[in-house]
Amino acid sequence: MAVLKIIEYPDPRLRIKAKPVEAVTDDIRQLAADMLETMYAAPGVGLAATQVNVHQRVLVVDVTQEQDQPLAFVNPEIIEREGTTEAEEGCLSVPGIFDRLSTRSSRIVVRALGRDGKPFELEADGLLAVCIQHEMDHLMGKV
Binding footprint of Zn ion on the chain (CB under 5 A): 91
Nearer to Zn ion, 31 or 52 (CB): 52
Known active-site residue 22: no
List Cα–Cα distances, 105 to 3, 86, 126, 128, in angstroms. 31, 9, 9, 11
CB of 92 to Zn ion, least distance (A): 6
Nearer to Zn ion, 58 or 91 (CB): 91
What are the residues whose beta carbons fall under 8 Å from the beta carbon of 20, sequence distance 6 or more?
56, 57, 75
**Closest C-alpha to 122, from 57, 74, 89:** 74
Cα–Cα distance, 4 to 61 (Å, whole number): 16
CB of 117 to Zn ion, least distance (A): 26
CB of 104 to Zn ion, least distance (A): 13
Nearer to Zn ion, 39 or 113 (CB): 39
Q: Which residue of the set 77, 80, 123, 135 is catalytic?
A: 135
Nearer to Zn ion, 24 or 134 (CB): 134
What are the residues whose beta carbons fall under 8 Å from the beta carbon of 52, sequence distance 6 or more?
4, 5, 6, 7, 34, 35, 38
CB of 138 to Zn ion, least distance (A): 6
Catalytic residue annotation: 135
